[in-house]
Structure 1
Amino acid sequence: MSDSAGGCVEPRTAVTEAEVEALVRGICFKTGPPRRLGVEVEWLVRELRDPRLPVSPERLEAAYAALRTVPLRSALTVEPGGQLELSSPPAASLMECVRTVSADLDAVRAVLREDGLVLTGLGHDPWRVPCRFLRQPRYDAMEACLDRTGPAGRAMMCASASVQVCVDAGYEEPGPLGHVRRWWLAHQLGAVLVAVFANSPLSGGRPTGWLSTRQLRWTQIGTGRAGGPVLDADPRGAWARHVLDSPVMCVRRDSGPWHVPDGLTFREWTRSGTPGPPTREDLDYHVTTLFPPVRPRGHLELRMIDAQPGDDGWIVPLAVVAALFDDPEAAETAYRTVKPLAERAHGMPAPHNPLWRDAARVGLADPELREVAVTCFATALDALPRLGAGTEVVDAVAAYRDRYAARGRCPADDSLDELRATARATRPRPTHPHGKDTPS
């Protein structure tokens, strides 16, 4: 997830329900030609000698203090469980984005390596019990709020990591690059991205039964905090209603713990004025506490992709999304390809619908998702040269297609294969009653 901690603000003019709706409608979709691209890459930070070993808070703090002295173009932030995130500046092209983040990651890895630490690309920590690293009022309040729905919230905060791709909202006018089409496409294609990039099948060292345990945790948190709006022909109105009808996570205070109301929606807050009428700053902060799989922040933030294995695994989902959203021909093909999937959502918001659940649970073992994924990869590969993608990026996308999408697999399948192989290798061999090994 990508959040800012934020601080307390002085009381200002209260906002009414109508003003909130107008404000949200005005800022959530900044329309125009799609020109910019961004990516936010989250990583688990682990011991280089053995990734199963915990890293002490003291070592993490020392490593992050060292990283803050390194000049980076990307913004470096730390997540509640100590995960590290790099957020690229808006880039004018795919290759500019790739070069910027790759250079920053090289610098980050060099500093961490000196302290025996390494970045690990997994959507959900397969070994550690979720443990909070940051102690801030925001995360104290978030933990208290999410604990009401069970342990999934702590796992999301402290044990998950993702690749989040940011694209422009698109034109005001209809068409393949129009904001209405792109908003709809993000929610249908999002399920395909969950399936093909699933990379978190384990928790506590055991399979959870889901290829994307990270996505499972989001569904367990609930629709108010981690769900999207019901899709309709008016994305601005749908998102404004969602913001108003979502529960308030916290009311900030100048001192002491922040207030964590139970079930108070922002709409109810504007009507009751209790505790204290909400301000524009309260509204802005409230929006940062909502974690739908597609979040409109002027641009569209696609938040559903698990962190990827390898140093450069994040480049493939970035390139695929860029191609399918920003090349007009590819966007039209992607729209037609994913359109039949919408029926499986049954009109329910993502990720709490059957389509998204199937994608997170079985991935490309679902025949329809596999067929759509293969077509989307072929479409992206055709479009990438038109976007100026370098040979190394095109080759990486092609290799991923051949290794995973074309075979109905995802990185989670590799993890499960490795777990099974380890179990077979360590399983005690049965012995003969007289002490001789029994042939296997």
Structure 2
Amino acid sequence: MDDCLTLEEAEAYVKGVCFKTGPPTRVGVELEWLVHDRADARLPVAAERMAEALAPFETPGTLPHRGGISREPGGQIELSTAPADSLAGCVEAALGDLTVLRASLAAADLELRGYGLDPHRDPPPRVVRHPRYRAMEAHFDRAGPWGRVMMRGTAAVQISLDAGDDTDGPPGYRYRWRLAHRLGPVLIAAFANSPLWRGRSTGWLSTRQAVWRRIDPTRTRAPDAGTDPRDAWADYALDAQLLCVRRAGSADWSAPRGLTFRSWLTGGAVGRPPAIEDLDYHLTTLFPPVRPRGWLELRMIDAQPGDDGWIVPLAVAAALLDDPVAADAAYAATEPLCGDDGLPPPEVWTRAARLGPADPAIGKAVRACFAAADTALAVSGTLARTRRTVAAFAERYAERGRCPADDQLNELGRSPATHAPWEGLS
């Protein structure tokens, strides 16, 4: 283990490793999926059945585009692409790897389903036995059952884009950090797709977001506004509670209750001082809506329906952040959603999750952002299939103040406007 850290060294390390600067060019995506029995989505899927279906991919690099496959605690599957040099390259890589993955699951009578929260089943038993997840459950259990729901029953589309360079305009990391946060409620609302749990309405269009807001806010809320993202993120990371402490040869990685990484650095009792590798691991346990990892990871978007629904949030987010004209248009469109600090206050994030684009101010921003993304995609020469997919989504949802969650509610036979909020998540 490396030498122990000082507070000053930890602050400098977080600032340097989490915001690596350079021209923004690369695009990546992590696609989380629920896995259902093809004949009956309400049936539990045995861990052994899943393991057999995934056995062909145990060796890294097996998929044709070298994407990575991992399992989430409740048996969800995550497909992660390698960073691509273009949106088109990222889409094609993900589509190719998904085709192979779906075929293997189909042979076991399983299928990938794009929901932000499983609408039918209670969270299944935890199938990943790693000490990290045991400690995570213990940590989140202190605030109620919502951590287990998140870990075992939710899925997302997570988009990775370069942090940006050191300039002050749209390509710069400061501008891109703020724009990503201003777009957060817009992306939540436009792609909300988790209105049901246990077969009934929860009163939220993105119940997945409602669940996230009920667990440890020191690692799930957006960071406070700061003059520089590096300073704001360093404070956020060091003031987040420890979720786990790795112990070689032990299955017990639990952390002392309420202990932050800053407190550990300055003498908090863990049994040993922290080292650089402990800080590295701590950074992987932070789950805000925008997470800097050397690049920007957008984590606020529900998993999307259909085989290629995920293409739309990927294309829209990449266009709005990477095209300078679209970025400025999106920045202007989100101004009415922001407070005095230039970022959306917590109540706007809540409205986005509850009401989606039916909220008048958020819906207006959604439509403006889709229009800016459409223009940027046309100028960039993006693949026609991707542009058609985005345009079809805009016509069906964004332009009508709707989102994919409304389809689930319509199938349930109710109008979204008549739902009483589920008291458990109010």
What TM bracket, shorter-length normalisation?
over 0.9
Aligned to 1:359: 352
Aligned to 1:71: 63
Counterpart amino acid of residue 245 in structure 2: V
Distance in 1 between residues matched to 2:186 and 2:254, nearest whole Å: 38
* Equivalent of residue 312 in structure 1, options 286, 292, 308: 308
Segments of structure 1 that go 5 or more residues without pairing to the other structure are 1-10, 423-440
Distance in 1 between residues matched to 2:355 and 2:409, nearest whole Å: 13
Q: Is the 8 A contact 2:54 2:104 kept in 1?
A: no
Aligned to 1:3: none
Indicate whether 1:195 and 2:185 are aligned: no
Matched position secondary structure for 2:214: helix
Q: Is the 8 A contact 1:130 1:158 kept in 2?
A: yes
Aligned to 1:22: 12
* Equivalent of residue 3 in structure 2, options 6, 13, 20: 13
1:370 offset after TM fit, Å? Answer: 0.7
Distance in 2 between residues matched to 1:54 and 1:163, nearest whole Å: 23
Matched position secondary structure for 1:221: coil
Aligned to 1:287: 283
Matched position secondary structure for 2:348: helix
Indicate whether 1:155 and 2:145 are aligned: no
Matched position secondary structure for 1:220: coil
1:273 offset after TM fit, Å? Answer: 5.1
Counterpart amino acid of residue 48 in structure 2: E
RMSD (Å), alpha carbons: 1.6
Segments of structure 2 that go 5 or more residues without pairing to the other structure are 416-426
Spell out, residue by residue over 1:386-408, the C-alpha distance to the aligned partner (whole angstroms, 9 max, x if none): 22311111111111000000110
1:260 offset after TM fit, Å? Answer: 2.2
1:347 offset after TM fit, Å? Answer: 5.6
Matched position secondary structure for 1:53: coil
Counterpart amino acid of residue 17 in structure 1: L
How many corresponding residue pairs?
A: 409
Matched position secondary structure for 2:226: coil
Aligned to 2:338: 342
* Equivalent of residue 370 in structure 2, options 368, 372, 377: 377
* Equivalent of residue 47 in structure 2, options 42, 50, 57: 57
Aligned to 1:434: none
Distance in 2 between residues matched to 1:153 and 1:358, nearest whole Å: 22
Counterpart amino acid of residue 14 in structure 1: C
1:32 offset after TM fit, Å? Answer: 1.4
Matched position secondary structure for 1:85: strand
Aligned to 1:225: 219
* Equivalent of residue 28 in structure 2, options 38, 48, 69: 38
TM-score (norm 2): 0.93
1:259 offset after TM fit, Å? Answer: 2.8
Distance in 2 between residues matched to 1:15 and 1:108, nearest whole Å: 42
Larger radius of gyration: 1
The correspondence of residues 153-192 of structure 1 with structure 2, limited to 5 A, is: 153-192=147-186
Spell out, residue by residue over 1:134-157, the C-alpha distance to the aligned partner (whole angstroms, 9 max, x if none): 111010000000101111100110
Spell out, residue by residue over 1:355-385, the C-alpha distance to the aligned partner (whole angstroms, 9 max, x if none): 0000001101100111111111111010002
1:274 offset after TM fit, Å? Answer: 2.3
Q: Which moved more, 1:250-259 or 1:409-418?
A: 250-259
Counterpart amino acid of residue 87 in structure 1: S
* Equivalent of residue 266 in structure 2, options 265, 271, 281: 271
1:208–1:348 CA distance, 2 compared to 1 (3 A)? farther
Aligned to 2:324: 328
Which runs of 4 or more aligned residues in structure 1 lie more than 3 Å from their structure 2 counterparts after TM superposition? 346-350
Matched position secondary structure for 2:79: strand
Counterpart amino acid of residue 314 in structure 2: L
Distance in 2 between residues matched to 1:385 and 1:287, nearest whole Å: 37
Counterpart amino acid of residue 378 in structure 1: A
Counterpart amino acid of residue 300 in structure 1: L
Spell out, residue by residue over 1:195-229, the C-alpha distance to the aligned partner (whole angstroms, 9 max, x if none): 01000001111111100011111100131121221
Matched position secondary structure for 2:338: helix
TM-score (norm 1): 0.90
Matched position secondary structure for 2:300: strand
Distance in 2 between residues matched to 1:60 and 1:128, nearest whole Å: 17
Q: Is the 8 A contact 1:94 1:387 kept in 2?
A: no
1:83–1:349 CA distance, 2 compared to 1 (3 A)? farther
Distance in 1 between residues matched to 2:25 and 2:336, nearest whole Å: 29
